[in-house]
Amino acid sequence: MIRRLVSVAVASLALGGAVQAQDADEARVMEILKTTPLIDGHNDLPWALRQQYGNDVYAVDLTTNLAASTKLHTDIARLRAGGVGGQFWSVYVPASLTPLEAVEETFEQIDTAKRIIAAHPDTFGLATTADEVDAVFKSGRIASLIGMEGGYSIDDSLALLREFYRAGARYMTLTHSKTTTWADSATDAPKWGGLSPFGEAVVKEMNRLGMMVDLSHVSEETMLDAMRVSDAPVIFSHSSARAVTDHPRNVPDRVLRMMPQDGGIVMINLAPGFVSEAVRAWNGAKAGEEARLKTLNPGDPGVVEAGLTAWTTANPTPLATLADVVAHIQHVRDAAGIDHVGLGADFDGIGSLPEGMGGVDAYPRILAALMAAGWTEADIRKIAGENLLRVMRSVEAVAASKAGERPSMARLES
């Protein structure tokens, strides 16, 4: 009995010491983030507001912590608690839309992002360049940038691409879940073996404009084609490492090893199916069971739903963890180098999150775990924001070098 009490006491002391060390590291992280902006590459709050609140930015009080009262991952209270200094607001629309619908709704989403910023001028400031990010951050506000998710939004028109740039979009993800008329997606059947000739023209025009080429969601062949064609560094605004979790949405080592030459950045996603191999395998098994039930019970969705509920009860969902996230960050660093890793969580764009990371206040915990693993203050500054700012400045420099070039008149061949 005495031995057991001693063991419990020792374990409690060890746990208490670990908690104190974590708290100390988080405090150090917050000090670092006072002078280096933490810039997240992808947040779907505009889409969440569209889906849940009809795009009304006043329908919820974003100044308060909404964790208990809403499904939102994002609000101003948690952004501040998370030390966020810069945020790319994603202006996502579904790949299932017609091209004209996608154009219209993407412009609506840009309007929503700008209305979020305008509704809270003491908290947010629009930024379209690296220097503007620095200026907004130094003013004590969160630099707010706009990123398009899905090349179908330009409706095969470089004129529309230019108008989206003028509206403030500073990156475009070349595909989403579906292959487009000019680029292959990671999660759809390939058509082009990467980029079509028009897809290459899109990348070149993005270089001329100064819009970052985002390769999250694209196939490996599209990654390689885009990196070959682009004169500027590329980004992965919200992706993780395929060697750690074998999902086609993640970045393979072959591409990671090319990042030092390219100069780009891979910003780690928090989606459980992308960061946990156990969750990825569970998702695959569930999809297989659903397909089996539909085959056995055609036209009877009630039986399918009941069978899937029973399967899920017998096979509970595994949990992704902070350790899973750290493993992806560390692998990208090991394969690509410290200068080529960042954070792009995908908050409000995914249904679930790793354990203990329920919202945008999670960043100090992630960065503190890296410090506990031996990362230096200089390393933390790089992953937080310095790497992305360097990429932005490189993209801007390429655009400045092309200032004398005429806009491309390339068109998609029928």
Listed in sequence order, the residues at least 6 apart from 235 whose beta carbon sits closer than 8 Å to its beta carbon are 41, 171, 212, 213, 214, 215, 264, 265, 266, 267, 388, 391
CA distance between the termini of the chain: 81
Cα 393 to chain centroid distance, Å, stands at 20
Structure tokens at 78: 């948690």
Query: Which of 238, 328, 331, 340 is labelled catalytic?
Result: 238
Which residues face 236 on adjacent strands?
Answer: 266
Our answer to whether residue 247 is catalytic in this structure is no
Catalytic residue check, 200: no
Asked if 120 is an active-site residue, the reply is no
Q: What are the CA-CA distances from residue 293 to residues 307, 309, 312, 314 (Å)?
A: 7, 11, 13, 15
Q: Give the Cα separation of 8 and 2 in Å (integer).
A: 10
Is residue 42 part of the annotated active site? The answer reads yes
Number of alpha carbons in the 13 Å side-chain half-sphere of residue 234: 28
Catalytic residue among 73, 105, 176, 262, which?
176
Clarify whether 217 is annotated catalytic.
Answer: yes
Single-letter residue type at 279: V
Using CA atoms, how far residue 231 sits from 195, 209, 255, 393, 394, in Å, is: 16, 12, 17, 13, 10
Q: Counting Cβ atoms within 10 Å, is residue 402 exposed (0-12), middle (13-18) or buried (19+)?
A: middle
Q: Of 26, 42, 73, 247, which residue is the catalytic one?
A: 42
Catalytic hit among 25, 26, 44, 348: 44
Q: Which residues contact 153 (CB under 8 A, 6 or more apart)?
A: 93, 102, 103, 106, 160, 164, 172
Catalytic residue, chosen from 105, 149, 214, 386, is 149
On whether the CB atoms of residues 407 and 158 are closer than 8 A, the answer is: yes
Q: Which of 217, 247, 331, 340 is catalytic?
A: 217
**Cβ contacts of residue 123 below 8 Å, gap of 6+?**
63, 76, 79, 141, 142
Give the integer Cα–Cα distance in Å for 228 and 231. 8
**Catalytic residue list:** 42, 44, 149, 176, 217, 238, 346
